[in-house]
Structure 1
Amino acid sequence: MSYLTSTFAGVKYTAMAAALTAITATAGSAEITLRAASLFDENHAYTKTLREFERLVGEAYGDEISFEMHLNGELGDESDFVTFLQQGVAIDYAVMAPSNMAVFAPSIPLMDMPFLFRDLDHWNAVLSSDVLKPLEDKLYEAADIKVIGYAGGGTRNLASAEPITNMDELGGHKMRVMGAPIQAKIFSAITAAPSAIAYNEVYNAIQTGVIAGFENEAASIQNLKFYEVAPNITLTKHAITVRPLVMSGKTFRKLPEDLQAIVLEAGLAAGAAGREIESSEDALKLQQMADAGQITVSEFAQRDKLLELSIPVQDAYAAELGATDLLTAIRAK
């Protein structure tokens, strides 16, 4: 019988309902089925990370395990993924933005807040260490979601309908941010006008003028064709993404002990592979879009000012969470 068998009533999307319906093992089928979900197609770094995890676990455990992958937001957006993981239904593992898990663990977005990392070397040093373990423990305790690796590596910049190249143009800029409060606080501090809008509504919100832009990494801008409505990319380089590879705690505890060990080892390796994929592809994808005439890329003239304005907000946020020592440890890496 597959793990995490369940039925979910009243789901409006047929694909989602099918995914949540009880899975019954047939004769000769694998005893364990692990299910993943991605907002993107097979070409995106997040999906490639999930496929690498699938490959590593499958090779180590053999024919007694099988995998299902739901792509292109078939099961909703990441806020839906978080709920499913926490409840132990529909999906068993995913690559997630920390801010989308803040509903259960308010401190988790600290690992992904803007202007946290100096550069890729600093980012990799943090993710290759155990400095984030206090946040992992809080997530597991509060949400029953277990971090098993770290992907990410995209550099996030502003994408907008009109050019945003200096502090004057940034002032009052209506932009979408992720739902965690620290995101809105920092973008407000740098004088923009942020609002939290569901990711799957961003394209239409820019198209209709509800917002004038958003912030994201190159892979997502290219994959979801956001350049069609926000062709101006401003190199604020305000974040290097941290994207935990997470598993439902309810799933993890049901696995045999030998498979738990394989999952933990594969999670670390798949996360590292995902970081290499996304960080190496980032500049390439920007150049591809620029060469195709899909985007115009500009530097931000006063980036030092953005850093200056953001630091007090970071400090206050960490103090509010009782995480000043953790922020200090991250900065010291």
Structure 2
Amino acid sequence: MKITMKSFIISATLGSLLFTGCGDTKVEDKKPTSKSENAGPEYTLKFSHVVSPNTPKGKAADFFEKRLEELSGGKIDVQVYPSSQLYTDNAVLKALTLDSVQMAAPSFSKFGKIVPQLALFDLPFLFKDIDQLHRVQDGVVGQKLKQMIDDKGYIALNFWDNGFKQLSSSKKPILMPADAEGQKFRIMSSKVLEAQFKAVGANPQMMPFSEVYSGLQQGVIDAAENPFSNIYTKKFYEVQKYLTVSNHGYLGYLVVMSKKFWESLPEDLQKDVVQAMNEATVKEREYAQELNNSQFEKIKEYAKTTGKLEIFELTPEQRAAWKKAVSKIYPEFYDKDLIGKDLINDALNTK
């Protein structure tokens, strides 16, 4: 399951500026200047997130802190607040509009009422692999989505990874669409996910994430979809008999900044923010892939030593059958106020 990271290039047009990120494009490094050489920081950037510092998001946020302080010569003091020390994801978007905090990285679902088009990433089997997904995010589709966020009063920076979702069940192996029929699947609040499981005859059940383990344990629900990080850290493998590596859907984050703070920065410091964010994005994606791989290995070790979990991986033929079964829901979201036909087709056509 190891996926090789390809070169990463991202362009972001923010206001009247055109910035080119890292990857194949050579970026001119500035000579770091210590804070002691300045009168002190001129700006304070508070970066609020909800996970622990040792997660991919947490590690990337810390990388961004160090890199931006270097690039800005100490003019920007970045302060990272992990583990919801300042705000939860539900509250941070409002805090950004008030400039009470200057940066955050909420999950896509938190933008649902602001820009429902981000539900594009909920569509099942839309992406062939992680490389194509990143090309979608870093290309025309990603830029359109970020512009929608900008139009709502934020500054959208980059997409960060959580990971692809996998299918698990306590009833039977889920290899073909018919295997899901009649099973009760836990889902997040999402019209796309509800339609996804109804398309294969399953029964989607909305349930808070905190209740999933007990729900699976007690048989309130039969099955779920989660990235390896959730399956491992929440020990869902203990209360499921079958795990299918399906990579059918994606979970991620969008790093956003306070518009007021962004507009307060001079052009040179805006460029520093973009460069530091592009470099942090490369790191975050590497961290996420490494963590997913290592956690999957631990799940496989549990399965091997206990015999209580069977792991399957979809064959190309099984994957094709799934895509055929669930892609019929795509037209339900062609309305531009939901996702939009153009966005869906552009994502599908990204090579």
Q: CA deviation at 1:307?
A: 0.7
Contact preservation (8 Å) 1:110, 1:318: no
CA distance in 2, matches of 1:76, 1:201: 22
5+ residue gaps, structure 1, are 1-27
Matched residue, 1:48: 59
Please, which moves more after superposition, 156-165 or 69-78? Answer: 69-78
Work out whether 1:288 is the aligned partner of 2:302.
no
Q: CA deviation at 1:85?
A: 3.4
Contact preservation (8 Å) 2:123, 2:249: yes
CA distance in 2, matches of 1:74, 1:200: 19
Please, which moves more after superposition, 189-198 or 113-122? Answer: 189-198
Contact preservation (8 Å) 2:183, 2:202: yes
Contact preservation (8 Å) 1:93, 1:245: yes
Work out whether 1:63 is the aligned partner of 2:63.
no
Matched residue, 1:329: 346
CA distance in 1, matches of 2:72, 2:155: 20
Matched residue, 1:306: 322
TM-score normalised according to structure 1 size: 0.78
Contact preservation (8 Å) 2:169, 2:223: yes
CA distance in 1, matches of 2:97, 2:169: 34
Q: 2:135 aligns with which of 106, 125, 132?
A: 125
Q: CA deviation at 1:163?
A: 4.4
Residues 183, 119 of structure 1: CA spacing in aligned structure 2 closer, same or farther, 3 A cutoff? same
Work out whether 1:85 is the aligned partner of 2:96.
yes
Residues 60, 224 of structure 1: CA spacing in aligned structure 2 closer, same or farther, 3 A cutoff? farther
Q: CA deviation at 1:275?
A: 1.8
Output one character per residue of 1:177-223: Cα deviation in whole Å (capped at 9) or x when no partner: 23232222223223332233333443344345443343221123333
**Paired AA for residue 343 in structure 2:** L
Residues 111, 165 of structure 1: CA spacing in aligned structure 2 closer, same or farther, 3 A cutoff? closer
Matched residue, 1:221: 231
5+ residue gaps, structure 2, are 1-38
Matched residue, 1:157: 166
Work out whether 1:145 is the aligned partner of 2:161.
no
Contact preservation (8 Å) 2:51, 2:58: yes
Q: CA deviation at 1:86?
A: 4.6
Residues 223, 250 of structure 1: CA spacing in aligned structure 2 closer, same or farther, 3 A cutoff? farther
Identity %: 24
RMSD value, Cα: 3.0
TM-score normalised according to structure 2 size: 0.74
Q: CA deviation at 1:311?
A: 1.6
Contact preservation (8 Å) 2:122, 2:192: no
Residues 109, 232 of structure 1: CA spacing in aligned structure 2 closer, same or farther, 3 A cutoff? same
Matched residue, 2:311: 297
Report which of the two structures shows the higher radius of gyration computed on alpha carbons.
2
Q: CA deviation at 1:132?
A: 1.9
Matched residue, 1:100: 110
Q: CA deviation at 1:165?
A: 1.9
Secondary structure of the corresponding residue to residue 285 of structure 1: helix
Work out whether 1:183 is the aligned partner of 2:193.
yes
